[in-house]
Amino acid sequence: MSSAAIPRDPLALELCALSKTFTLGGGMLHKSRSLQAVKDVSLRVPHGQVMGLVGESGCGKSTLAKMLLGLTKPSGGDVLINGKAIVNANQKALARHIQPIFQDPYSSLNPRQRIAQIVGLPLRIHAIGTAKEQAVKVEEMLDMVGLPKRAAQQYPGQMSGGQRQRVAIARALIMRPDLVICDEPTSALDVSVQAQILNLLLDLKDEFGLTYLFISHDLAVVEHLADRLAVMYLGRIVEEGTREQIFTAPRHPYTQALLASALTPEPGLGVPDIGLGAGQPDPSRPPSGCAFHPRCPMAQPECAQQAPALSALDQNNQGRVACHFA
Amino acid sequence: MSNLSSAERSTAPASPLLSVKQLRVDLPVAKGTLHAVRGIDFHVERGEMLCLVGESGCGKSMTSLALMGLLPRKAQINADCLNFDGVDLLTVSERERSNLRGSRMAMIFQEPMTALNPAYTLGNQLCEALRRHQRVSRKAAHDRAVYLLERVGISAATERMRQYPHQLSGGLRQRVMIAMALMCEPDLIIADEPTTALDVTIQAQILHLLRDLQQEFGTAIIFITHDLGVVARIADRVAVMYAGEVIETASAQALFHAPSHPYTQGLLRCIPTPGKTLPGSRLQAIPGVVPSLIDKVEGCAFCNRCDQADQRCHTTPPLQTVAGGHLSRCHFAHQLANPATINAQEVTL
């Protein structure tokens, strides 16, 4: 049944010094500029784990996801899935191992196709089974994501946001991938529906032994799902560690600010004054040295001179942080 | 800055700034009539922060547009009472309405890029808001705009006045929107999801600022959001909306500590909360979906998703008082308000 190869490599996903530089502008009158969306990102995700990736808009998390899916070519570095580099892998072979779930279920489903067609498309592309077998698989998959049988004949426009996201999940999982990139899968949903989808993602992970790269800006959601977390700021990972490390003892001042700004539903605590300046940096003109230094409450003169390396906190490589003072 | 203080303007200082009784908004759609707001009651005191919470489609934005007089032309609005500081908003003329808008009630929208005019400088737009309503000199308007830009945390305000909206980041634009709303020192600001499009660190800064300014200027704010975390941190009082109705009203403390409507309880249970929900555990989701508001809803709108529902719920529940100022539209409100019942339902680790 499972089309995925038996994992030979202990890591479902490994990123080695991955970088992406975009060129902006460049016309007759303007000099072109370069924007380093992702800088030197290294990350290891073992099988069956959920790696949370957090950071604010423009920090490069979506560019990272696109490189993993083969939708954008990296400027440098390697992506290894199950120990194999994907740089020259063809898109079709890659799609068997890695699948995305996107944020907006309103724009990620073809409005003119029935749900059965949408979910069954990967099977048709990869020519798996006869039409009848495909239909059975689609029906099984819809059932697994909690959609009724009649959903197969509906169009996306007849469904609610939560149901559409279930369709997107069914489509992603029908090829039984090892790795699923969840790019803000619940951000467009209402809270009561968000809980249903998070439960479903957790159930399916156990059922299929999936590995998730879970991208989100909602720290409560990430804390609920992730085993490990990587925090990105302006294209770099500034801190990485286990969920406990990040949430109980964050080392990087940016991680600390992120955690302080997460508003838990506890009345009477008020809104924290997180002490970051008003200025969000322009990613195409990153500050010198440590990119966070203009907003950092702990910044010293040396922070503007030299960018801190992402270094291990201990020998076991349990956590890494990029700060001169961590 | 303004010529009149709010005390001098008001006719009856003891009455609430805004009172809404049985507000209904109906919109004609292809399949019939969408009952977007189905008879809601609430009031806003002077200088208070009232949060309107609810999920998409619950009617919170339609309510705010009805208050501002910005509903689509086809919409039908009905109410027993829609009174803003002595002015009946149902019968007010378009001219008077437009005098109120901007000067005494202002609005902050979710997406500042679409709310600001891309073709005019910030200075132009800020000053227009004031000079449209008050006889002030160009210089005075300019000075007030610079003062407010500085007050909302924008550095180099004089230079910013000459910039266009696209030259600013999302967080800065939202600060400009707040400054613009404050130009005429309104009595009421309606903020419709003003931080939803922003990053969390920026959201915290904007909320902090809004709370500070509200206390400094004594402005009442209706803050519309779907984020219970935000509500808990900023609200004085909360009105929870579901399917076009206000189903629970309470102080922030009472709502979070003793929620008395199954929907509010469900909402609070289904968000992952550090220290309350075990990571990786199943969340207690609310089953089902919101009913369509195109058909007439019989009985309690929540009853098909509610685990407490019985045959009583096929009749419309009255708004019941469970404690002083704490109202719940549920037949079981009194049982639910009992803390013993709630503790038993809470997730234990």
**Tens of pLDDT, residues B253-296:** 999 999 999 999 999 999 888 778 888 888 988 888 788 888 88
Residue A52 predicted with pLDDT over 80: yes
Least confidently predicted of A14-18, A45-49, B229-233, B270-274: B270-274
- A285 in contact with B, Cβ within 8 Å: no
Q: How far is the C-alpha of A246 from the C-alpha of B72, rounded, in Å?
A: 48
The answer to whether the Cβ–Cβ distance between A278 and B171 falls below 8 Å is: yes
- The conformation of residue A26, written as its DSSP 8-state character, comes to -
Report residue A303: phi and psi, to 5°: -65, -30
- pTM of the predicted model as reported, rounded to 2 decimal places: 0.86
Closest CA–CA distance from residue A57 to any residue of chain B (Å): 7
- What is the pLDDT, as a whole number, of residue B14? 67
Question: Looking at chain B, which residue has its C-alpha nearest residue A281?
Answer: B169
Q: How far apart are CA B300 and CA B34, in angstroms?
A: 17
With bands split at pLDDT 50, 70 and 90, how would you rate the model's confidence at B154? confident
Q: Which among A20, A17, A14 has a CA at the least distance from the CA of A61?
A: A20
Q: Do B200 and A219 touch (CB under 8 A)?
A: yes
Distance CA B5, CA B325 (A): 29
Chain A residues within an 8 Å CB radius of B172? 278
Query: 3-class DSSP state for residue A142?
Result: helix
CA distance A41 to chain B (A): 22
User: Above pLDDT 70, what percent of chain B?
Assistant: 93
- Percentage with pLDDT > 90 across chain A: 60
Nearest CA of chain B to the CA of A192: how many Å?
6
Q: Which residues contact B19 (CB under 8 A, 6 or more apart)?
A: B43, B44, B81, B82, B83
| Confidence tier at B347 by pLDDT (50, 70, 90) | very low
pLDDT value at position B188?
96
Q: Inter-chain contact A196–B229, Cβ cutoff 8 Å?
A: no
CA torsion B141-B147-B149-B154 (nearest 10°) is: 150
Q: What are the phi and psi torsion angles at B53 (to 5°)?
A: -110, 150
Residues B103-124 have a mean pLDDT of: 89
pLDDT at A31: 77
Q: Residues of B with CB below 8 A from A270's CB?
A: 211, 233-234
B341's tokens? 């019942």
Q: Between chains, do B285 and A56 touch, taking CB under 8 Å as contact?
A: no
Is pLDDT above 70 for A182? yes
Segment A99-128 mean pLDDT: 92
- Any idea which of A231-245, B9-23, B80-94, B195-209 has the lowest mean pLDDT? B9-23
Tell me which residue in A191, A247, A279 faces B267 most closely, judged by beta carbons: A191
Stretch B130-149: mean pLDDT: 92
Taking the Cβ of residue B230 and every Cβ of chain A, the question of whether any pair is shorter than 8 Å is answered with yes
pLDDT for the residue A278: 56
Query: Is B14 or A211 the better-scoring residue by pLDDT?
Result: A211
Kindly give the pairing relationship between strand A211-216 and strand B188-192: unpaired
pLDDT computed for residue B295 by the predictor: 82
Q: Tell me the residue length of chain A.
A: 326
The pLDDT of B226-253, averaged and rounded, is: 95
**CA–CA min distance A24, chain B (Å):** 17
Beta strand B105-108 with B87-88 is unpaired
**Averaged pLDDT for residues A221-245:** 94
- Where helices occur in chain B by DSSP H, the ranges are 6-9, 60-68, 94-100, 112-115, 122-133, 138-151, 157-160, 170-182, 200-217, 228-234, 252-257, 262-270, 333-337, 339-345
Residue among B204, B252, B280 whose CB faces A261 most closely: B204
A280 close to B (CB below 8 A): yes
